[in-house]
Every structure is written in C-alpha cells, then in structure tokens.
Structure 1
Amino acid sequence: MSQVKESIEVDVPVTTAYNQWTQFESFPQFMDGVERIEQRSDTLTHWVTKIGGVKREFDAEITAQIPDEKVAWVTVEGEAEQSGLVTFRPIDPAHTEVTLMMDFDPEGMAESIGDKLGFVDRQIKDDLKRFKQFIEDRGAETGSWRGSI
C-alpha cells in the first residue's frame, strides 16, 4: 500500500471549500484523469477514471463526513483499491487549508514505477491546485451537502 499527503491553502471560507468538495460530480472539472462521478446515494459514488491510459471504474463508500471538517472514503467494488481522507482547517474567516491523504494499491509494474517516481504525489498536488483555482475563480460553491455520516 502506498500513501500520499498534500495540502493547499484556498482563499475561501471553510464552509465554501467543504461545500464544494461534497459536489463529487464536479470533480472532473478540476481532477485530471477523472472522467465521471455519479452520486448514487448519500454514501455511495461511482467513479470512471482514465490515468496514464488506464481506464478504471469503481465504487467508493463515504465512511465519514462531518460538515466543515472532513470527508473519508474507501473503495468497495471495482478496479481500484484506495481509501482517503480530506480535511478542512480554517486558517482565518476567509482562508482554509485543505489536506488530502490517500492510501492506494498500485497495480502492475507501470503503476508501481509511476508511484515510486512520485507520479501520484504530483497528480494529487496538481489536482489540489486546480481545486484552488476552481473555487477561488467561482468565489462560491456549486452546491452543498451538509449531512453527517
């Protein structure tokens, strides 16, 4: 199992950053390699990704969700094994630190080499930069889900 952890400061309040993160179907707008996400229930999402030419489909279950604090998930079915946690920490009323931590199991030699070369770390860092630009350019979230899991 490999691990990655990246953080970024976004220039929006914690509620805005958190609310946008709960809009999983918007992830393809800022996550490279994510083709589609379907929110199937409050706790289940279906992902279609294509990274490095490898297409995968999997379901992820949200295992914990606390408004303005965190969202955690684990894959439950499909072609990827991963779990993760994104946390939101208010820096001040207008700025938030977003931290994304993932555990994943690279499959095959190409993915193992890419992981060792830091490809996944760079991918996560770049995705967070695109999230920052996405939410700051909008200035407001595209929606929200404020329930707790």
Structure 2
Amino acid sequence: MSTTVTADIEVDVPVRVAYDHWTQFESFPHFLGGVESVRQFNDTTTHWVVKVGGVEREFDADISDQVPDDHVAWRSTTAETPHRGRVDFRPVDGDRTRIDLTIEWQPEGFVEKAGAALQVDDMQVKRDLHRFKEYVEKRETPDGAWRGEVHGGVEGTDPDLRM
C-alpha cells in the first residue's frame, strides 16, 4: 500500500526565487531532514544518499516534468522503495509564493510502515518545508539556476519542437 504525503507553505520571496532555490538539488541537505547528499549528474538525473530510521539508502531519481516557476516532478529509478513527487509554485502576490508538495512511496519494513501509520512522514515533510522557508528567506539570491524545461523525462524548451 503506497503512502502519499501532501504539504504546503507560503514563503516571503517571489516565485522565481523559490523555484530557483528548489532546483539547486545539491543544497537539499541544508533543509531536508534525512538527506545526507544529492549529486546532480545532468539536468534530469540526481543521485541521493538518505538516512531514514537509522538506515542509509542510495538511489537515483529522474526529473520527469519541469517548467520554470511552475513545477518540478520526479521519480526514483533505482530505489528499493520506489517513490515519486511533485512540487508546485504559485504566486500569491509579487513577493510571496505558495509551495505545494506531494510525495508518494511504498513503505517497507516495520520502521517505515509504523512511521507512515503514525504520520511521522507527514510531520517530517512539513518540518522540511518550514526549513526550506527559513533557508530561502535568508538567502534571497540562489547560487545558480537552470531555467530549461523537461517533459516526459526529456529535456527541452518546447515540447512541440522535439521529435
């Protein structure tokens, strides 16, 4: 049985700033609990090292859909526990952004299943979004930004122009 966690938060930065920070995947350990490291191989593939319930896991994830200032969707490609997610960015006003996050995975083992049943996962995702809020509001200028699009796991700027 899969578990789905949804959470949202408003941050006091424009949508472009929030999006640009979120797409700096290697900075995730600064605000995502349990994430030890993220390496980005190219515009669509990342390698993660996470520690959950004392268990370290490594996996690759691919960006399946990405539109600047709008959303990023991903799915694991090598994880023992498959997961996928999506984060949406919506302007509230010129200097404020709503972030909606959805993550879905299949808990395995007693610790993960107990955590899901007790909604520990929900609390962790909400804490992570609060840490992201603090992070992005303190560091208004992102370290970098990639403004391209990904559709169906394929990089490009216009899905209608790809063969």
> Would you call these one fold, judging by a TM-score over 0.5?
yes
Q: TM-score, normalised by structure 1?
A: 0.98
Match of 1:26 in 2: 27
1:106/1:112 contact within 8 Å kept: yes
Query: 1:80 and 2:81 equivalent?
Result: yes
RMSD over aligned CA atoms reads: 0.7
Counterpart Cα distance in 2 of 1:41 and 1:105: 27
1:17-37 Cα offsets, whole Å, 9 max, x none, are 000011000000011110000
Counterpart Cα distance in 2 of 1:103 and 1:25: 21
Query: 1:122 and 2:134 equivalent?
Result: no
Residue correspondences, number: 149
Which one has the largest radius of gyration?
2
Q: What residue identity is the alignment partner of 1:42?
A: D
Counterpart Cα distance in 2 of 1:141 and 1:10: 15
2:53/2:111 contact within 8 Å kept: no
Deviates more, 1:133-142 or 1:10-19: 133-142
Deviates more, 1:132-141 or 1:57-66: 132-141
Q: Secondary structure at the match of 1:77?
A: coil
Q: What residue identity is the alignment partner of 1:116?
A: A
1:78: Cα distance to partner?
2.8
Match of 1:111 in 2: 112
Query: 1:45 and 2:46 equivalent?
Result: yes
Counterpart Cα distance in 2 of 1:138 and 1:85: 23
Match of 1:9 in 2: 10
Q: Secondary structure at the match of 1:78?
A: coil
1:38-74 Cα offsets, whole Å, 9 max, x none, are 0011110000000220111000010000000000000
1:80: Cα distance to partner?
2.8
Counterpart Cα distance in 1 of 2:142 and 2:8: 19
Note the residue ranges of structure 2 that are not aligned, 5 or more in a row. Answer: 151-163
Match of 1:54 in 2: 55
Q: Secondary structure at the match of 2:149?
A: coil
Match of 2:65 in 1: 64
2:6/2:122 contact within 8 Å kept: yes
- Runs of 4+ in structure 1 displaced over 6 angstroms? none
Counterpart Cα distance in 1 of 2:145 and 2:100: 19
Counterpart Cα distance in 1 of 2:139 and 2:40: 22
1:106: Cα distance to partner?
0.4
Q: Secondary structure at the match of 1:57?
A: strand
1:117: Cα distance to partner?
0.2
Note the residue ranges of structure 1 that are not aligned, 5 or more in a row. Answer: none
